[in-house]
Structures are given as structure tokens and as C-alpha cells.
């Protein structure tokens, strides 16, 4: 089901999600007491990183974490801090791995216009690693600077950096191709699955990318759905329910393409089989009437190049064929409760 690529994270391609970078999977699984571990904020200071840089280093597998024995946020073993600090080129090399750029700076690194860089990203040729919603409710995509440099330096990409965009790629852009949300979801689910502690947590990661209607079809038991709801990862940026950023975050976090949805449905069914075999879901005192949650429909985002597009094309995570399939997908917002 998996294969390694060079992006340093994961990518979702058709019915496959491909974990990448072997060291990224090397998270510790044993629980460690606070006497031998550091809180993320303290670990960031010891590694000379800003907190956002530290969080990205964890996501990329550059800094490994362990669950805390008392629950709550994961922690960093003292031995891991010493290992990272002993690496050659510390701290500059570590900062280089987590450096991110937006469209303008990414274009400057490639030596192309911002418009051309955006087209590369929409086609899946460069893959976002982070995003945020600015005050204008526009989605700002961020990319790893090192990946941008590698793309620009690759000989096979030289023809894309100058001259006209090849006709096949132009056709896909004219048809509305935009793979940024889908490719980001591929990276996100890879990280969350590596951090998940048990089969139920892994199932919750997969379920978090499906809207509540589809999840209810696969998970008819309301107690199981409530358990998955409690375990689901927090949305990036953790926007407050009802805030302007909440529906945008929900849209990015919800699978849109039919083939992506079908892959997630199959993965969730398999994950549930393993989770039920591991242990039954706890029975909760109460569930929503009928065992269903309200599913709000996200309004379309304003038209802007940086705004989340309305459609993604089916097929692979890098654009290979035209003709996006438009579908209206009901998007769910589930409030996450601490476990």
C-alpha cells in the first residue's frame, strides 16, 4: 500500500497514501515520566527554534516525541534533545529543514513569477506543508523551502521554469485543477497516523477526514462514533467553532474527491476492524438523538487565487489528467473533547 517519495512526508495518490522519509516514522511509543522529558515550549527553546518551527520539526520527524504518562501534550525526551543538538550543523541545519516560504518567496527561490509558482502548486508539483487563514479569510499556503530549492534544481524541471506551460498542464489549470488541499491532507494524515497511540486513535485519524454523514454510514454504532469523536486530532490552528476560519478549516480537512473518499472509507472500515479486535469502544452515558450529529454545509470561499478552491480533480496527487469532477460534499464540524 505504500512507497517512499522524496517530499519528506506523505502524499495521497488515487487509492494510495505513501509514507515518506523513514526517520519520520521513528516516533517513540513508550510513555515517559516528566522527569526525563521536556514540554514542547521548553524543548523548542533548547533547540533554538520558534514554537512554530519546533512543531513543524516534529511533524517532519526531525524531533521525536513521546506520550506523557499523565496524558495531554506529547513531550520530548532529554535524550532526543541531546541527539538533535549533537547533529552536524546544529542549529542552522535544523532551521533549514523547517524553513517555510509562501508564494512570493517560493517564486523567488525558483526564479519564476508568483503566478507560475501558484500554477505549480495547483498542479501538485510542489506540495504545501502548512496553511493558515489570514484576516481576509484567504488561505495562505506555505511550502518547505528545501523542497522548493530541490524542485528548481532538478534537471527534469528546467523546461517548466521558463517558456510556456505545456499544453496538457494548461488544460488542467483551465479546468480548475487545484491539488493543494488534497496534497496537504496527505501529509497531515501521515503525521497523525504516526503519532496515534492505538488502533482506535488511528481509526479516528482516518475518520477525521470524512464528513459526518459518510462516517455514520461506516460507523453505525453511536458509541463508537462518540469514541472516535473524542480521539480525533485537533484541526490545525484549532479555530473556534463559529469563527470565520472554522468553515474554511473544515473544508480543507474534509476529503472532496470521489476516489479519495472511497479510499478513506475502505481504510476506515479496515481500521475499525482492527480497533474492535483490540478492544470494544467504551459505552457512553448519552449520545445525540438518533446517534447523528448536525452537519453544517460550508459556504463557498470567495474567488481568489489564495482562497481554497471549490473543486479538486480526481486521480493522482500530481496532476496527470484534466477534467475535475465537481461534487457538493456536506462538511462536518465536530467539536473535539479532550480525552
Least confidently predicted of 9-23, 198-212, 284-298: 9-23
Residue 328 lies in a domain: no
Crossing angle of the two packed helices 114-122 and 167-174, in degrees rounded to 10: 80
**Whether residue 88 sits in one domain with residue 44:** yes
What is the model's pTM?
Answer: 0.75
**Whether residue 81 sits in one domain with residue 67:** yes
**Whether residue 114 sits in one domain with residue 85:** no
pLDDT at residue number 287: 54
**Domain boundary residue among 97, 123, 143?**
97
Residue 131 lies in a domain: yes
Q: Identify the CATH number of the domain in which residue 134 sits.
A: 1.10.1660
Least confidently predicted of 15-19, 84-88, 96-100, 267-271: 15-19
Q: Residue 100 has which C-alpha cell? A: 517555510
Nearest CA-CA partner of 311 in 298, 299, 334, 328: 328
Average pLDDT over residues 277-284: 92
**Domain boundary residue among 159, 179, 199?**
179
**262/255 Cα distance (integer angstroms):** 10
pLDDT at residue number 203: 97
Least confidently predicted of 182-191, 213-222, 252-261, 325-334: 325-334
**Whether residue 121 sits in one domain with residue 175:** yes
**Whether residue 105 sits in one domain with residue 170:** yes
Residue 291 lies in a domain: no
pLDDT at residue number 68: 82
**Whether residue 84 sits in one domain with residue 122:** no
**Whether residue 46 sits in one domain with residue 111:** no
Residue-range definition of the domain harbouring residue 36: 23-97
Percent of the chain with pLDDT over 90: 63
**Whether residue 103 sits in one domain with residue 77:** no
Instruction: Give the total number of structural domains in the chain.
Output: 2
Residue 89 lies in a domain: yes
Residue 85 lies in a domain: yes
Quick one: three-class SS letters along the chain? CCCCCCCCCEEEECCEEEECCHHHHCCCCCCECHHHEECHHHHHHHCCCCHHHHHHHHHCCCCCCECECCCCCCEEEHHHHHHHHCCCCCCHHHHHHHCEECHHHHHHHHCCCHHHHHHHHHCCCCCCCEEEECCCCCEEEEEEHHHHHHHHHCHHHHHHHCCCCCHHHHHHHHCCCCCHHHHHHHHHHHHHHHHCCCHHHHHHHHHCCCCHHHHHHHCCCHHHHHHHHHHCCCCCCCCCCCCCHHHHHHHHCCCCCHHHHHHHHHHHHHHHHHHHHHCCCCCCCCCCHHHCCCCCCCCCCCCCCCCCCCCCCCCCCCCCCCCCCCCCCCCCCCCCCCC
What does the pLDDT look like over 132-186, one tens digit per residue?
999 999 999 999 999 999 999 999 999 999 988 899 999 999 999 999 999 999 9
**Domain boundary residue among 144, 179, 214?**
179
**Whether residue 113 sits in one domain with residue 52:** no
Q: 257 or 197: which carries more pLDDT confidence?
A: 257
**Whether residue 131 sits in one domain with residue 170:** yes
What does the pLDDT look like over 252-280, one tens digit per residue?
999 999 999 999 999 999 999 999 999 99
Residue 91 lies in a domain: yes
Strand 76-77 versus strand 16-19 pairing type: unpaired
What does the pLDDT look like over 12-68, one tens digit per residue?
443 333 333 333 334 444 444 456 899 999 999 999 999 999 999 999 999 999 988
**Whether residue 163 sits in one domain with residue 136:** yes
**Whether residue 69 sits in one domain with residue 103:** no
How many of the other CB atoms lie within 10 Å of CB of 190? 26
Amino acid at each position: 500500500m505504500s512507497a517512499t517519495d522524496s517530499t519528506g512526508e506523505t502524499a495521497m495518490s488515487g487509492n494510495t497514501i505513501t509514507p515518506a522519509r523513514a526517520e519520520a516514522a521513528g516516533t517513540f511509543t513508550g510513555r515517559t515520566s516528566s522527569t526525563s522529558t521536556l514540554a514542547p515550549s521548553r524543548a523548542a527553546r533548547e533547540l533554538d527554534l520558534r514554537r512554530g518551527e519546533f512543531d513543524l520539526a516534529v511533524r517532519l520527524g526531525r524531533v521525536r516525541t513521546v506520550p506523557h504518562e499523565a496524558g495531554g501534550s506529547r513531550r520530548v525526551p532529554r535524550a532526543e534533545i541531546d541527539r538533535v543538538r549533537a547533529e552536524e550543523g546544529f542549529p542552522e541545519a535544523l532551521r533549514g529543514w523547517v524553513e517555510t516560504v509562501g508564494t512570493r518567496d517560493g517564486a523567488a527561490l525558483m526564479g519564476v513569477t508568483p503566478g507560475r509558482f501558484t500554477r505549480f502548486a495547483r498542479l501538485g508539483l510542489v506540495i504545501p506543508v502548512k496553511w493558515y487563514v489570514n484576516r481576509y479569510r484567504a488561505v495562505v499556503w506555505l511550502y518547505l523551502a528545501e523542497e522548493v530549492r530541490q524542485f528548481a534544481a532538478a534537471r527534469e524541471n528546467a523546461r517548466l521554469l521558463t517558456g510556456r506551460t505545456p499544453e496538457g498542464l494548461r488544460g488542467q489549470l483551465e479546468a480548475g485543477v487545484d491539488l493543494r488541499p488534497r496534497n496537504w491532507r496527505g501529509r497531515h494524515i501521515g503525521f497523525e497516523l504516526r503519532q496515534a497511540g492505538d488502533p482506535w486513535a488511528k481509526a479516528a485519524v482516518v475518520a477525521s477526514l470524512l464528513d459526518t454523514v459518510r462516517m455514520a454510514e461506516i460507523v453505525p454504532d453511536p458509541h463508537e462514533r462518540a469514541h472516535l469523536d473524542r480521539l480525533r486530532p485537533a484541526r490545525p490552528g484549532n479555530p473556534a467553532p463559529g469563527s470565520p476560519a472554522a468553515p474554511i478549516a473544515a473544508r480543507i480537512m474534509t476529503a472532496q474527491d470521489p476516489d479519495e473518499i472511497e479510499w478513506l472509507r475502505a481504510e476506515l472500515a479496515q481500521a475499525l476492524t482492527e480497533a474492535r479486535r483490540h478492544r470494544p469502544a467504551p459505552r457512553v452515558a448519552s449520545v445525540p438523538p438518533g446517534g447523528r450529529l448536525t452537519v453544517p454545509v460550508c459556504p463557498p470561499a470567495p474567488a481568489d487565487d489564495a482562497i481554497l478552491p471549490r473543486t479538486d480533480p480526481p486521480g493522482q496527487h500530481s496532476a496527470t489528467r484534466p477534467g475535475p469532477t465537481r461534487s457538493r460534499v456536506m462538511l462536518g464540524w465536530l467539536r473535539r473533547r479532550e480525552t
